[in-house]
């Protein structure tokens, strides 16, 4: 059976919709986690402002929440809290490398909270891990103009980011999509994490935002269509024009692995849609659990039918 044949037999189904809604709720981080993260960030900010300890030749200005928590696309157990700490430099950045700023921020934070501090493997952020499992990614940044910031590029240089422009783009894509795009994005980010996390967070969010307006208003059907399109859309240019080609970190082998995962998930999601169309909810929910992972509800909801 083709997907075109299924469309006429499928509609917004209460049982399947309830399972997706419960899944999205289960993978959403608890509110206290963000609140604790912001409390820690404020304490760090106060320390930087009041201790008079600087990272020469930079002075600290302020911090802000960025990334998946700011865009409501964070997922439980996998998403760190991203915080941009803005600095001002008295020297021209063209003559400065970025790693001394990373090292300086790390050393400054070690004096404040102790040894649970490290520079990330990609040499882009300073990571802080608290005993209760709270993870913060501190991104040092220097404002370039009203929209752009310069941040470490992982190679001791700088690259440009524009969080306000990014957030505005994602809000606009959500506004013209029939599904709730942040919620749908959380599901695909969880799928990615369950399969090894090969696609970076902003990269995946950009792909989903590009697809969003074309996916209809049914999460089950949208999932199948997204996987069909994802296998051919890993290569994508930054939609806000700051970071260039977003897939450059992937090797040829990794690209092939992602395409294969998408094809397998597209086939499994099609099997779920077929089962739903035939009224076999138990088999449909089991297939969706096979796609999205063990947190997808596949027992009690199916037994109620």
pLDDT, tens only, 213-271:
999 889 999 999 999 998 888 899 999 998 889 999 999 999 999 999 999 999 999 99
Q: Which of 160, 193, 214 is the last residue of a domain?
A: 160
Does one domain contain both 50 and 140? yes
* Structure confidence by residue, pLDDT tens digits, 78-92: 999 999 999 998 888
Residues whose CB falls within 8 Å of the CB of residue 206, separated by 6 or more in sequence, listed in order: 236, 238, 239, 246
Q: Nearest to residue 127, comparing CAs of 37, 9, 219?
A: 37
Structural domain count of the chain: 2
- Contact, 101 vs 123, CB < 8 A? no
Instruction: Answer with the one of 123, 143, 160 that is the final residue of a domain.
Output: 160
Residue 25 pLDDT greater than 50, yes or no:
yes
Q: Indicate if 195 and 78 belong to the same structural domain.
A: no
Average pLDDT over residues 13-42: 93
Q: Output the pLDDT for position 184.
A: 97
Helix (H) or strand (E) holding 137: strand 135-143
| Residues 107-136, mean pLDDT to the nearest whole number | 89
Answer yes or no: do 112 and 201 share one domain.
no
CATH number, position 112: 3.30.460.90
Q: Domain check: are 178 and 78 in the same one?
A: no
Residues 287, 26: Cα–Cα separation, whole Å: 18
Which residues, at least 6 apart from 270, have a Cβ–Cβ distance to it below 8 Å?
3, 6, 224
Rounded to 10 degrees, what is the CA torsion of 165, 155, 248, 105? -40
Q: Which of the residue ranges 182-191, 229-238, 293-302 has the most confident prediction, judged by mean pLDDT? A: 182-191
Which value, in Å, is the radius of gyration of the alpha carbons in the chain? 21
State residue 137's pLDDT score: 96
Q: Same domain, yes or no, for 77 and 192?
A: no
Same domain, 156 and 197: no
Whether 222 and 280 map to the same domain: the answer is yes
Say whether both 68 and 132 belong to one domain. Answer: yes
Residues 190 and 65 in one domain: no
For 193, half-sphere exposure in the C-beta direction (CA atoms, 13 angstrom radius) is: 18
Tell me which residue range forms the domain holding 94: 31-160
Answer with the one of 109, 127, 160 that is the final residue of a domain: 160
Cα–chain-centroid distance for residue 134? Answer: 17
18 and 49 share one domain: no
């Amino acid at each position: 059976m083709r997907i075109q044949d299924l469309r006429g037999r499928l509609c917004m189904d209460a049982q399947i919709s309830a399972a997706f809604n419960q899944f999205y709720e289960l993978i959403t981080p608890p509110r206290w986690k963000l609140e604790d993260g912001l409390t820690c960030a404020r304490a760090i900010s106060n320390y930087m402002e009041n201790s008079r300890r600087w990272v020469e030749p930079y002075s600290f200005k302020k911090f802000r929440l960025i990334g998946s928590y700011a865009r409501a696309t964070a997922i439980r157990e996998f998403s760190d809290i991203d915080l941009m700490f803005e600095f001002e430099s008295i020297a021209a950045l063209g003559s400065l490398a970025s790693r001394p700023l990373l090292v300086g921020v790390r050393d400054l934070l070690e004096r404040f909270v102790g040894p649970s501090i490290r520079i990330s493997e990609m040499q882009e952020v300073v990571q802080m891990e608290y005993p209760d499992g709270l993870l913060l990614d501190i991104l040092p940044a220097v404002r370039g103009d009203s929209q752009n910031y310069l941040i470490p590029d992982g190679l001791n240089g700088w690259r440009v980011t524009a969080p306000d422009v990014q957030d505005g783009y994602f809000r606009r894509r959500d506004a013209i999509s029939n599904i709730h795009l942040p919620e749908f994005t959380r599901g695909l980010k969880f799928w990615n994490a369950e399969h090894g996390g090969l696609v970076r967070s902003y990269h995946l969010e950009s792909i989903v935002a590009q697809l969003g307006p074309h996916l209809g208003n049914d999460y089950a059907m949208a999932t199948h269509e997204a996987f069909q399109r994802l296998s051919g859309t890993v290569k994508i240019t930054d939609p806000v024009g700051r970071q260039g080609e977003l897939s450059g970190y992937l090797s040829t082998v990794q690209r092939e692995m992602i395409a294969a995962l998408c094809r397998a998930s597209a086939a499994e999601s099609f099997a779920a849609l077929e089962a739903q169309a035939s009224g076999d909810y138990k088999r449909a929910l089991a297939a969706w659990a096979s796609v999205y992972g063990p947190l997808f509800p596949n027992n009690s909801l199916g037994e109620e039918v």
